[in-house]
Amino acid sequence: MKFFTDIWRSIFRGESLSTDKGKSELVFLNVWLHIHPAKVKKEHMRFKHTFYLGFITFFLFVILVTTGIALMCYYRPSTSQAYQDMKDLQFVVFLGPYLRAMHRWAAHGMVVCVFLHMCRVFYTGSYKRPRQFNWVVGVLLLLLTLGLSFTGYLLPWDQLAFWAITVGTNIGSYAPLVGGQLRELLLGGHSVGEGALLRFYVLHVAVLPSIVILLTIVHFWRVRKDGGLSRPIWKLKGRQPEQELVTIGAPAQPALRATAVSTSKTYGLMEVVTGKPIFETIAPDEEDDAVFAHPYAFFREAIALMATVTTIMATSLFFRAPLEELANPAKTPNPAKAPWYFLGLQELVSHSAFIGGVVAPALMVVALLAIPYFDRNPSRRPSDRKWAIGLFTVFVAANIALIIVGTFFRGPGWAFVPPWVHVVTGAE
Amino acid sequence: MKNRLPQIFFLLSFISLILLLWAIRQASTPSWKSYQRAFLQLEAQGEPNAAAKAAVLSTPLHIHQVMLTGLQRVDRCTTCHLGVDDPTMKNAPEPFRYHQGLGPHIASKFGCTICHGGQGLATTKGDAHGNVQFWDKPLLAREYIRASCGRCHKEGEVPGVPELTAGRHLFETQGCRGCHKLNGVGGSIGPDLSEEGASRRSPEWLERHFLAPNQVSAGSAMPNYHFSREQARDLTYYMLSLTSEDMGSYYSSVRLIPSAEYGRELFTQKNCIVCHSVGGAGAKAAPDLLGVTQRHSSEWLDEQLVNPQYVYPGSTMPEYDLETNARKALIAYMGTATSDDAQAILSHHTRPVSPGDVSIEAGKEEFARVGCAGCHGRELEGGLPNPNAQGGQVPSLLHISDDYTKDEILAIVRNGRAPPLENAKGPTPPLYMPAWKNVLSEEDIHQVVDFLWSRQQKAKDSW
């Protein structure tokens, strides 16, 4: 018996979870959990502060990696085999259609959640000092998510895939000087073909996921190092703007004094050292607001995980991923549409290829990246940020409106056709 | 905050477990398995004792598929249609019934979808039969299945499918190519028809379309040729057979079936009767062909057709450059040819004599082949309605020499022409004269115009 106890104890070395020390050690000693602090503020766990959108995005990514690896076992990235492999997944592979559907819905869900997560962070002003760079990392992750979704779009090699990518890469070729070459580099040729399929596959299963994983690690690490989550805005009442910021780690801030220690709390070396501590501490007057990460935070996160998984599983059970006809370069659907998240862009392109396809998206990305550096207003209170919130809301609303117009209101020849009017396409 | 969290967590985990089990259940009870079980029941009925019955019933269920690399398809139809090649299943209920009359077209070599249409890779009834979104080739209705013979047998007669031959003949003689391209040859006023049999168009649609093009697709430039129901059916058959899919060498080797009927057609076409005779009927310049298949082996005859000089040095017989199956067809016909038949061929025989006539005759053939006749009429009478063109119709070519010089006509044929408008503000007429210089050689164009001029004379003479 002792033999097995020894093995068990060698794996799980912390004390019993009933003690405070045990609860802390569960966090400290575990490679996966130690990204958490041992104690978390109650306010951070409130659903209405974050809607857990960051976690949900991450969990969707985990689902995508899992189902993606399973799908890779059945897929060969060549134009003569890809479509047949998709048909095999649809008709022969055990749970094949289910896997595909989960992968598809999780991918769409991730694009949506990453965008909503960005909106949440903006509206709560959580990109402000010291979190500026983490916002930049976040925007990069948004772009990578779009890239992953876009590269995955081509792989089924059906009509939808072929023409969405043809349209999507054509938009890219409007960039001055390098546009054409960029498109050629991406496609490995002048048109979407064997070369493009292989390149998109490599990007989709190796290159982009690796970068996403690396940046996600940075993103998480910085959340922790920037003092955990930002303070919910409803907690900001009656404070000075300076106090709203997490002061730690920010240059030119007075160092925390190590004198406020409570006798019942163990402090890390970093916190005792004078100068500029990196960790956020929980000030003694906030001790009552904090609880141990185990079980309060972990169970909430686990619930977010299970809710995400359950939603995707249920959706996939009832709504299967469609598969159109085999890609046919000679048969252009009218209208040929890009993936839905690029339809706003396509809508802009339909008005002006250069302004809509190059200038507007480039400005959008630059503006998003620059937000934390241009917005010098230290206050996070919505009442102090009317202009910023107004502008960002216009940006979000314009994006959504353009996507809705592109998706539902554009018919053959990109003519304005309301969705309730039925147009017979390709009529002889 | 009070500890409900574990409960919610375990509830959600439980729900996801249920969902997983549900998905697994759905995946492990596909409909093809029930078909296979029903088939095993059917087979077990015929077994004499319980042990044999049990052995049959315990046969493992699996997906059957025929990989047809030559036809670039994989057919899984036999996963449910388990009795297609089992004659004892002659009276079995569908989907297990034996497929009668397949002849050489066995399922393991041809699969099913090449003739029947449908989605070979699918394993559920709806998807396999192809009446689903995103599948171009649903199952063909029973009366149209024979049209698929033309997918491999692209030339000559197809035994048992007279519609196909008739449809092909109509297409080539009615001037359809004037507007429609087929395998690279033809005009561009109407759609290219090379893939017509592979596109999602129902046979019923095609047939209605041939009877009244404008009623099926509004605004179509295609004139109503007042085809009969049979002709519409023939053309529909031909359309359904059109596909530029790449058939493997095994399948394209039978693009021409070496039948005696086709041999007779060749015999007539190549004017064999001008030198040869059959049982005394015909010319005497070359050997009589009655019973020639008994005097010589078919290999010898074949060699004679390929290379007459090799068999008989100094022979005056020309080399006809016939493909293997055409030679086989000729030899098959020689086996059945009689003097009465030769007499019949002779009585229909008219042949141009002077070199000028040859050019006119070639022009006439060209006129029909590339499809001028489609609009201008086989007798050059014109008259197809062409709204808002001058006169409201395609011009007759019987009196063009009154209005144009030969050079002007040559230029019009070469470069094409938009018809002069009746009402300058009205809509563009649907039909126009295409440019032919990229389709026809200069020699061809001259021959066509020579043919037109020859008819001018006749028209004037008849006054």
| pLDDT tens digits along A239-273 | 555 544 444 444 444 444 444 445 555 555 544 44
What is the nearest CA distance from B14 to chain A, expressed in angstroms?
A: 10
CA angle A340, A342, A346 (to 5 degrees): 110
Residue A9 maps to a domain: no
Residue A1 maps to a domain: no
Closest chain A residue by Cα to residue B221 = A428
pLDDT, position A278: 45
Closest chain A residue by Cα to residue B5 = A299
Residue the block writes with tokens 């906030």: A286
Cis peptide bond N-terminal to A254, omega within 30: no
What is the nearest CA distance from B352 to chain A, expressed in angstroms?
A: 43
What is the nearest CA distance from A212 to chain B, expressed in angstroms?
A: 27
First to last CA, chain B: 109
Contact A307 B12 (CB under 8 A): yes
Residues of A with Cβ-Cβ distance to B122 under 8 angstroms? 87, 90-91
Residues of A with Cβ-Cβ distance to B127 under 8 angstroms? 91
B352: left (phi over 0), alpha (psi -120 to 50) or beta: beta
pLDDT, position A251: 43
Contact A428 B28 (CB under 8 A): no
CATH (one of 1.10.150.530, 1.20.140.10, 1.10.10.10, 1.10.760.10) for B145-251:
1.10.760.10
What is the nearest CA distance from B18 to chain A, expressed in angstroms?
A: 10
Instruction: Write out chain B's pLDDT in tens, 463 residues.
Output: 457 888 999 999 999 999 999 999 999 999 999 999 999 999 998 888 889 999 999 999 999 999 988 888 899 999 999 999 888 898 899 899 999 888 888 888 899 999 999 999 999 999 999 888 888 888 998 889 999 888 888 887 888 889 998 998 898 888 888 888 888 888 778 888 888 887 767 888 899 989 988 888 877 888 888 899 999 999 999 999 888 877 777 787 777 888 888 888 888 888 888 888 888 888 888 888 888 888 888 888 888 888 888 877 878 788 777 888 888 888 989 888 888 888 888 877 655 556 667 778 778 878 877 888 888 887 788 877 888 888 888 888 888 888 888 888 889 888 888 888 888 888 888 888 888 888 788 888 888 888 888 877 555 555 4
Choose the closest CB to A300 out of B5, B121, B133: B5
Longest dimension (CA), chain A: 86
Structure tokens at A241: 């703007």
Size of interface A-B (CB pairs under 8 A): 76
Choose the closest CB to B24 out of A42, A95, A307: A95
Residue A424 maps to a domain: no
Q: Tell the CATH superfamily of the B260-347 domain.
A: Cytochrome c-like domain (1.10.760.10)
> Could you tell me the residue ranges of all domains in chain B?
31-139, 145-251, 260-347, 355-462
Handedness of CA B38, B40, B42, B48 (dihedral sign): negative
Q: How far is CA A416 from CA A287, A346, A407, B410, in A?
A: 59, 14, 11, 47
Residues of B with Cβ-Cβ distance to A95 under 8 angstroms? 23-24, 27
- Cα dihedral value B242, B245, B248, B253, nearest 10: 20
Contact B6 A299 (CB under 8 A): yes
Answer whether B145-251 and B260-347 agree in fold: yes
Contact B76 A91 (CB under 8 A): yes
> In whole numbers, what is the pLDDT of chain B averaged over residues?
85
Q: Which domain holds residue A98?
A: 26-414
Instruction: Report how many domains make up chain A.
Output: 1
Residue A354 maps to a domain: yes
CATH number at residue A368: 1.20.810.10
Contact B134 A322 (CB under 8 A): yes
pTM comes to 0.80
Contact B23 A428 (CB under 8 A): no
Residue A264 maps to a domain: yes
Structure tokens at A162: 């072929």
pLDDT, position A253: 44
CATH (one of 3.65.10.10, 3.30.930.10, 3.30.450.20, 1.10.760.10) for B355-462:
1.10.760.10
Tell me how far apart the alpha carbons of residues B449 and A317 are, in angstroms, rounded to a whole number: 68
Contact A95 B23 (CB under 8 A): yes
Closest chain B residue by Cα to residue A313 = B19
Alpha helix segments (H runs only) across B46-190: 50-57, 107-110, 113-116, 125-129, 149-152, 162-173
* Residue to substitute from B1, B19, B68, B80, interface A, most A β-carbons within 10 A: B19
Contact B217 A428 (CB under 8 A): yes
Q: At what angle do helices B339-347 and B260-269 cross, to 10 degrees?
A: 40
Residue A7 maps to a domain: no
A236 with A380: CB under 8 angstroms? yes
Choose the closest CB to A306 out of B1, B9, B63: B9
Contact A313 B136 (CB under 8 A): no
Low-confidence ranges of chain A (pLDDT < 50): 243-261, 270-280, 425-428
Residue A114 maps to a domain: yes
Contact B8 A427 (CB under 8 A): no
* Phi–psi pair at B417, nearest 5 degrees: -165, 140
| pLDDT tens digits along A108-157 | 999 999 999 999 999 998 898 888 899 999 999 999 999 999 999 999 99
